[in-house]
C-alpha cells in the first residue's frame, strides 16, 4: 500500500490525510509503523478516548460508546467534511478505505454530497467484511461506476491516478505553477489502519 501512496504523492503532488477511528493514544505507535513501512507523511485525524476520571461507570460508558460503529462513522464523516470544507475549492480527493467497517457507506455519502470534489474511491476487500455486491451497489448508489473500484491487493492500485493530459497542476506560460489555479490532489485514507491493527497485537 505504501508504494501506491508514494507513487501518487510524487506523480501528483498529493497531500495525504490519515483518517482513523482508532484511539489517539495509539498515535505514536501508528506513526512508528507508518515510518517503518515507508508511508508518506501527512495529517492524522484519530479519535480521542477519554480514560481519566474517578467515575468507573462513566469510564465504562465512554469505552462502550467509543467502540460503537456509529461513533466511528460520525468521526470519519465529520473529519472528511471538515477537510473538504477548509481545502481550496479546486482541490479534489481520492478516498481509500476498506470493507471491514462502514467506509463504503461513508464514502458513498460523501461522493454524493461533494460529487465535483471526489475524483476516485478505492475500497479494499478484507476478510470478515460484508463483501456482497448488493452492499456496494447500495453504498454507491447514484455514484458513477467509474468513480469507485474494489481491490484485494495493493498491487492492483494504479501507479498513477491520471495521465499527462489530466495534469494535476496548471502552469503559466513560463512553466511555473500558478498557485491561484493549483489543483493539488488529496488522499483521504482509512484502509491502511486495517494493516496496522494486527501489527499492534
181 lies in which domain range? 2-200
Q: Domain tally for the chain?
A: 1
Q: For the segment 35-73, what is each residue's pLDDT rounded down to a tens digit?
A: 888 888 888 888 877 666 556 556 555 555 655 555 778
Q: How far is 107 from 113, CA to CA, in rounded Å?
A: 10
**Per-residue pLDDT at 50:** 66
Beta bridge partner(s), residue 41: none
User: Which pLDDT value is given to residue 175?
Assistant: 29
pLDDT at residue number 54: 55
| pLDDT score, position 15 | 82
Residues with pLDDT less than 70, the chain: 50-70, 162-201
Amino acid at each position: 500500500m505504501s508504494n501506491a501512496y508514494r507513487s501518487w504523492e510524487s506523480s501528483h503532488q498529493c497531500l495525504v490525510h490519515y483518517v482513523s477511528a482508532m484511539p489517539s493514544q495509539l498515535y505514536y505507535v501508528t506513526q512508528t509503523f507508518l515510518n517503518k513501512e515507508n508511508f508518506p507523511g501527512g495529517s492524522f485525524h484519530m479519535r480521542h478516548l477519554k480514560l481519566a476520571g474517578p467515575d468507573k461507570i462513566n469510564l465504562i460508558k465512554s469505552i462502550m460508546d467509543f467502540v460503537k460503529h456509529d461513533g466511528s462513522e460520525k468521526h470519519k464523516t465529520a473529519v472528511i467534511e471538515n477537510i473538504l470544507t477548509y481545502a481550496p475549492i479546486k482541490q479534489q480527493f481520492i478516498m481509500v478505505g476498506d470493507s471491514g467497517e462502514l467506509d463504503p457507506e461513508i464514502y458513498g455519502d460523501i461522493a454524493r454530497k461533494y460529487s465535483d470534489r471526489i475524483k476516485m474511491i478505492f475500497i479494499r476487500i478484507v476478510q470478515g467484511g460484508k463483501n456482497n455486491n448488493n452492499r456496494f451497489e447500495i453504498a454507491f448508489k447514484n455514484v458513477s461506476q467509474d468513480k469507485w473500484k474494489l481491490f484485494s491487493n495493493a498491487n492492483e492500485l494504479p501507479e498513477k491516478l491520471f495521465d499527462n493530459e489530466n495534469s494535476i497542476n496548471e502552469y503559466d506560460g513560463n512553466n511555473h505553477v500558478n498557485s491561484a489555479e493549483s489543483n493539488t490532489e488529496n488522499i483521504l485514507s482509512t484502509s491502511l489502519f486495517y494493516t496496522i491493527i494486527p501489527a499492534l497485537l
